[in-house]
Amino acid sequence: MKTQPTNGVYHGHTQCEHSILPSRKTFLKLIPVFVFFLASCFSSHAQVQTARTVTINNYIKGFFEYLPEGYETSGEEYPLLIFFHGAGERGNGSTQLSRVLSNGVPKLIKNGTFPKSFTVNGKSHKFIVISPQFTDVPPGNSHVNDIIDYAVKNYRVNTKRIYLTGLSMGGGMIFLYLGVNQTYAKRIAAMVPVCQAYGYSNGTAKVISDAGIRTWMTHNNGDPTVGVAGTLNYLAGINALNSGLAKATIFTSGSHDAWSKTYDPSFKEDGLNVYEWMLQFEQGAAKPPANLPPAVNAGADIAVRLPINSVTLKGVSSDKDGTISSVSWKLISGRPVAIINPSKLTTEVQNLEVGIYEFELTVTDDKGASSKDVIKVTINAANVLPTVNAGEDVEITLPINEITLVGTGTDTDGSILSYQWTKILGGNANLLSPGAKSTKIEKLDAGEYVFQLKVIDNDGGTSTDEVRVKVHKVINKAPIANAGQDVVIKLPTSSVTLFGSGKDEDGTIQAYFWTQLKGQPISILTPGKATTVLEGLT
């Protein structure tokens, strides 16, 4: 039989904090000495809580112990229920230990209203109840684990039936304890956190889910001290990973006290109070969810042209219910190449030649499940540049001042994507369709022009060609002059009228001018007109 030190008994409202009882192994021998003492501690109530001033660690220096009726003689192992108090009940574990009796399970035991046994599935169960007092909020989960270790070592505990419950700070400490690793979590069969004060953590939800810990949370919807959001988030987070593992009861109340109703044995859901509900479960009875394989994406297929002969593969992976433990790239098709970092999601592949390669990315999660994806890499030959012809050189003479340039472009290993005409030499010119294969050019002036045609192929290769355009000035044809028919006169007539005319095939007559070539000097009255009079003829 496991034994433990005894230094106090709580029976009903009677406290004997500093008695010095021996261990149960010697108890019967000393009955005559302590008859009066025991009579004062065991009053009218049938339930007994024993105050233990025992230093478990720096944060637990005392606790209350409740043992089921018949514990001393049965030799059985019993379910263990550990109750964690709220922040207001913290104390030194000795003179302040009675604060633990203010609320929850230890209060029920103190008042004699905690059932001696619970019948679940036709079987009767009795709890060992341990209610530790914390001096302050412990910084880590090992401090909670210490009280479990102590109980298992010193009491006959059915280790498949360890249950945790607590209110406010104490409810949050349950999540603090469970949220670190599976080793701790797998000790617990079920838990009832009440208005818990621990912020939501995806990691904690996953640990609870993986360990299969049945969870019943309660909270008031209008709790002014600890909002209900954390409880609701744990409900959603746990069930998203392991459907139906957690449940929550949200009371309609504006107070922080959700514990009075929760711990009341008469409060039941689906015919069970929280104690009966917990006793349905043993550690390991709830199957952890099936492992989900990791997700993997090797990336979109890649195509490049030489001289580029290396590419970067960028894989992406995730694991909804765990972590990625390993990554592996390998070549499954194509010539041998160098994969620089095959165990990294992002890696460079070098020394690629013309051809098609396939690379397979395999990721494995922390539970051994693997997923694969394949990416295709195509290495094309170096681009052959396109050919271009801007056409034959052109000469025109004003007044003609427009031309049409007709270009051509071909690409033996692809296609022409664009044409672009530009003027690189010359005066005014208006290109009507500079982005077309052929373009009309207007408003040319006399002079020399050079126009360039640039073509771009589907791989970005470019080629250019030039065409020269010479615009000549106008070539003027001489006008035709007609002085009229020869004239014969007789003296005494001494004057005559000359009727001249002129025409210009490529323009107009701008001026006339009569001059005397032979004979005696005479007068030409209007030498600047087509018709003029000569006088003084002799």
Domain boundaries, the chain: 47-279, 295-380, 387-472, 478-538
Instruction: Quote the distance between the C-alpha of residue 253 and its chain's center.
Output: 38
Same fold, 295-380 and 387-472: yes
Query: Where are the extended beta strands (E) located within 315-369?
Result: 316-318, 324-333, 338-339, 346-350, 355-365
Phi/psi at 131 (5° precision) = -125, 90
Per the CB < 8 A criterion, the answer to whether 281 and 190 are in contact is yes
Query: Where are the extended beta strands (E) located within 177-323?
Result: 190-194, 214-220, 246-251, 295-297, 302-305, 311-314, 316-318
What is the identity of the amino acid at 294? Answer: P
- Alpha carbon separation from 441 to 391, 392, 445 (Å, rounded): 14, 15, 11
Q: Under DSSP, is residue 51 helix (H, G, I), strand (E, B) or coil?
A: strand
Strands 302-305 and 370-380 turn out to be parallel
CATH architecture, domain 295-380: Sandwich (2.60)
- pTM, entire model: 0.51
Alpha-carbon Rg for the chain, nearest whole angstrom, is 54
Q: Does domain 387-472 have CATH number 2.60.40.10?
A: yes
pLDDT of 29: 31
In tens digits, the chain (538 residues) has pLDDT values of: 443 333 333 333 333 333 323 333 233 333 333 333 333 333 334 479 999 999 999 999 999 999 999 999 999 999 999 999 999 999 999 999 999 999 999 999 999 999 999 999 999 999 999 999 999 988 777 888 999 999 999 999 999 999 999 999 999 999 989 876 788 899 999 999 999 999 899 999 999 999 999 999 999 999 999 999 999 999 999 999 998 999 999 999 999 999 999 999 999 998 999 999 999 999 865 455 677 899 999 999 999 999 999 999 999 999 987 789 999 999 999 999 999 999 999 999 999 999 999 999 999 987 789 999 999 999 999 999 999 999 999 999 998 999 999 999 999 999 999 999 999 999 999 999 999 999 999 999 999 999 999 999 998 999 999 999 999 998 888 999 999 999 999 999 999 999 999 999 888 999 999 999 999 999 999 999 999 999 999 8
- Alpha carbon separation from 194 to 148, 174, 226 (Å, rounded): 20, 10, 11
Burial-class residue 493 by CB neighbours within 10 Å (0-12, 13-18, 19+): exposed
Please provide the size of the chain in residues.
538
Q: Does domain 47-279 have CATH number 3.40.50.1820?
A: yes
